């Protein structure tokens, strides 16, 4: 079962109670808040100046460029989030604002198609002279993604035409022919964006340009050295002669392990997976699978956070997964979702959807307060607030921030949540896949007729999933439902008739092929016991520790519920654990309760070291979903707990 299309299908209408809240918060709070931030209208927050940069570039204002060289991308991601929000919930006023921004982009665009405020305002004579550091192609890619999303949401072509003009210009600049530049971006993004532009316009040259950027990477002599010498740059940075930071140390098909900046890596892997699915390249397919295996089996946190190292926001080495110094940028988990979705386009294997789900419910939404007004750039698995004073843990924030000078994560999270309807289902020929269990309505075209699918569930709080299939006429096709990797006990019925699972299970999907008629009902029940998860023995930080997981959710303990010094808690192996749903806590969550033991600090005395072991006392514990931590009183947080015999 290969090459599952994840693009042709329209977005599902999300009706899910859990995710509807998030989508509503993004629509009503995050998008307006980020619009204010882009316009420097958030008191006591880092200024953005991003919209003002476009006004200056368009000739509507005077002044100097302000912000990061990639400041344009914040506007692009905001526009993309708006597009997906309009797709879900039409809003004439918001659409009008977006149209005004698009008009501004058109005015800022050069006659040749070029569109980048940093170079237009600050260094107009230095275009394409520092591909390694200055994010021109990265910003272009984000604008392209936004344009495609806006076109699909509204049917309006202006933004798409603006970015097609820019892509045509870029295609005239880069390549192997004649005097074109044989370079590639330091921060990958345009590679996957060009593929989306190709799919929206049908122009093959965009696909070929994406292939060019992917295939040039890792060739010697390294282009970054060539351009550095050409501009007379004698400065030194940590990534000089460290091509792995940009995933340019080897040709992509020869790379065996994930190295370097984590977001750049997963964006590139996403493009590689798309190209593998479209072109059928076995080399790219094998490379994607090799890199996937390395990431998820050796370099991924239980929360689906990736990029453990603060230095370079990067992958470190296999099994190096510190909890209290982890970097795990929100954008990196978001990029992992992108990559997982695209791997499903290469092969229908539930392992990809499992990781996509893990990231969605844990490592991404942890990056935002439940009210959508504050954000984490970094998502640690252990926090002791006073330790953030240490230089080696300065990146660990005990509370979320209003905004960031480098504000890539908040708009990235907004566009992901708003686009959720594109991740639930996919289709290949007459097979309709259900990857995620999210209440929704989806219409698909199977052999020329429309089929409506309605999914109802209280996921992730319980594992009861009901699907109603409504074809226009009776039709034979296949409905494929994922069996999550965390589930060891499932039952499946169609119209009340039990299905023998081993007969229909392939690579983690139940394949139900039958003649479907209107009103057919599928019931999938996934057992959701509390699981004690252990880490691989080579993860040094977690030896003798366990994490609690229930269904797709990873849990943590917080100081507000369990007192300070969480490192003194020990959970006996035979401790009984139970759950209860609290509708008034943190927006309504299932809580895990249990009886642990705590080292009695009072019995220790004042000695720093002693040959007398501290006594223990009973200590009830209360664990909450990881995504919801830091929404009450600030304090300690812990995912991995000590375990005793």
Q: Known catalytic residues?
A: 313, 408
| Residue corresponding to tokens 């059928």 | 280
| Strand partners of residue 272 | none
What is the distance between the alpha carbons of residues 324 and 627, in angstroms, rounded to a whole number?
16
% helix / strand / coil in the chain, to the nearest 5? 40, 20, 40
Cα-based distances in Å from 218 to 194, 255, 261, 276, 279: 20, 9, 15, 18, 21
Print the SS3 string covering 29-74: HHHHHHHHHHCCCCCCCCCCCHHHHHHHHCCCCCCCCCCCCCCHHH
DSSP 133-202: TS-HHHHHHHHHHHHHHHHHHH---HHHHHHHHHHHHHHHHBSSSTT-B----SS--HHHHHHHHHHHH-
How long is the chain?
A: 645
What is the distance between the alpha carbons of residues 16 and 170, in angstroms, rounded to a whole number?
41
The per-residue b/e assignment along 28-67, b for 16 or more CB within 10 angstroms, e otherwise, is ebbbebbbebbebebeebeebbbbbbbbbbbeeeeeebbb
Cα-based distances in Å from 52 to 31, 33, 38, 120, 150: 18, 17, 8, 13, 22
Q: Are 532 and 539 in contact (CB under 8 A)?
A: no
Q: Are 553 and 626 in contact (CB under 8 A)?
A: yes
Distance of CA 538 to the CA centre of its chain: 26
DSSP 342-377: HHHHHB--HHHHHHHHHIIIIIIGGGB-TTSS-B-S
Largest CA-CA distance found in the chain, in angstroms, rounded: 79
What is the distance between the alpha carbons of residues 386 and 30, in angstroms, rounded to a whole number?
30
Q: Are 266 and 306 in contact (CB under 8 A)?
A: yes
DSSP 7-26: SSSPPPEE--HHHHHHHHHI
What is the distance between the alpha carbons of residues 340 and 343, in angstroms, rounded to a whole number?
5
Calculate the CA dihedral of residues 197, 202, 203, 204 and round it to 10 degrees: 100
642 three-class SS: strand
Nearest CA to 625 out of 365, 305, 282, 273 is that of 365
| Neighbour count for residue 579 (Cβ, 10 Å) | 16
Helix (H) or strand (E) holding 90: none
Nearest CA to 480 out of 430, 532, 413 is that of 430
| Strand partners of residue 624 | 556
What is the distance between the alpha carbons of residues 467 and 73, in angstroms, rounded to a whole number?
39
Q: Are 480 and 348 in contact (CB under 8 A)?
A: yes
The per-residue b/e assignment along 596-629, b for 16 or more CB within 10 angstroms, e otherwise, is bbbbeeeeeeeeeeeeeeeebeebebbbbbbbbb
């Amino acid at each position: 079962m290969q090459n599952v299309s994840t693009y042709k299908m329209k977005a599902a209408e999300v009706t899910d109670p859990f995710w509807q809240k998030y989508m509503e918060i993004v629509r009503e709070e995050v998008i307006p808040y980020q619009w204010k931030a882009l316009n420097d209208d958030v008191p006591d927050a880092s200024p953005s100046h991003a919209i003002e940069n476009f006004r200056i570039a368009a000739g509507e204002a005077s002044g100097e460029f302000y912000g990061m060289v990639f400041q344009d991308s914040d506007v692009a991601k905001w526009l993309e989030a708006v597009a997906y929000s309009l797709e879900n919930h039409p809003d004439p006023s918001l659409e009008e604002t977006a149209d005004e921004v698009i008009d501004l982009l058109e005015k800022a665009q050069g006659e040749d198609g070029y569109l980048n405020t940093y170079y237009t305002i600050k260094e107009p004579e230095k275009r394409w002279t520092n591909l390694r550091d200055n994010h021109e192609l990265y910003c272009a890619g984000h604008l392209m993604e936004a344009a495609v999303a806006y076109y699909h949401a509204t049917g309006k072509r202006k933004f798409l035409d603006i970015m097609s003009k820019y892509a045509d210009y870029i295609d005239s600049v880069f390549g192997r022919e004649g005097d074109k530049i044989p370079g590639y971006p330091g921060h990958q993004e345009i590679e996957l964006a060009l593929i989306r532009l190709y799919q929206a316009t049908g122009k093959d040259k965009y696909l070929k340009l994406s292939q060019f950027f992917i295939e040039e990477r890792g060739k010697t002599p390294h282009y970054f050295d060539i351009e550095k010498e050409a501009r007379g740059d004698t400065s030194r940075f940590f990534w000089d002669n460290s091509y792995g930071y940009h995933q340019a140390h080897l040709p992509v098909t020869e790379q065996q392990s994930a190295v370097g900046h984590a977001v750049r890596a997963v964006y590139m892997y996403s493009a590689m997976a798309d190209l593998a699915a479209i072109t059928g390249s076995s080399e790219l397919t094998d490379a994607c699978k090799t890199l996937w295996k390395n990431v998820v089996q050796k370099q991924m946190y239980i929360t689906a956070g990736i990029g453990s190292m603060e230095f370079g926001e990067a992958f470190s080495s296999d099994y190096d997964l510190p909890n209290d110094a982890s970097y795990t940028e929100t954008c990196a988990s978001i990029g992992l979702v992108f990559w997982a979705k695209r791997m499903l386009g290469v092969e229908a294997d539930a392992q990809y959807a499992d990781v996509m789900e893990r990231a969605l419910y844990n490592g991404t939404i942890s990056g935002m307060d439940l009210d959508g007004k504050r954000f984490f750039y970094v998502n640690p698995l252990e926090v002791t607030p006073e330790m953030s004073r240490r230089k080696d843990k300065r990146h660990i924030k005990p509370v979320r921030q209003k905004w960031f000078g480098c504000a890539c994560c908040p708009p990235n999270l907004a566009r992901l949540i708003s686009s959720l309807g594109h991740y639930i289902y996919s289709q290949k020929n007459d097979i309709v896949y259900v990857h995620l269990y999210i209440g929704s309505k989806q219409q698909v075209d199977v052999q020329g007729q429309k089929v409506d699918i309605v999914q109802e569930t209280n996921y992730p709080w319980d594992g009861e999933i009901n699907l109603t299939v409504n074809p226009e006429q009776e039709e034979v096709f296949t409905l494929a439902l994922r069996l999550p990797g965390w589930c060891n006990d499932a039952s499946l019925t169609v119209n009340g008739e039990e299905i023998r699972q081993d007969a229909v299970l392939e690579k983690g999907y139940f394949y139900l092929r039958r003649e479907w008629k209107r009103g057919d009902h599928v019931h999938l029940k996934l057992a959701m016991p509390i699981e004690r998860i252990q880490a691989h023995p080579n993860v040094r930080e977690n030896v003798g520790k366990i994490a609690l997981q229930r269904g797709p959710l990873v849990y943590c303990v917080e100081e507000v519920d369990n007192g300070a010094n969480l490192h003194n808690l020990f959970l006996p192996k035979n401790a009984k654990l139970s759950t209860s749903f609290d509708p008034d806590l943190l927006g309504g969550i299932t809580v895990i309760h249990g009886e642990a033991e705590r080292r009695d600090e009072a019995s220790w005395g004042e000695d720093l070291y002693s040959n007398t072991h501290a006594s223990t006392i009973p200590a009830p514990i209360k664990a909450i979903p990881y995504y919801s931590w830091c929404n009450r009183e600030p304090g300690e947080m812990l995912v991995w707990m000590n375990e005793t015999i």
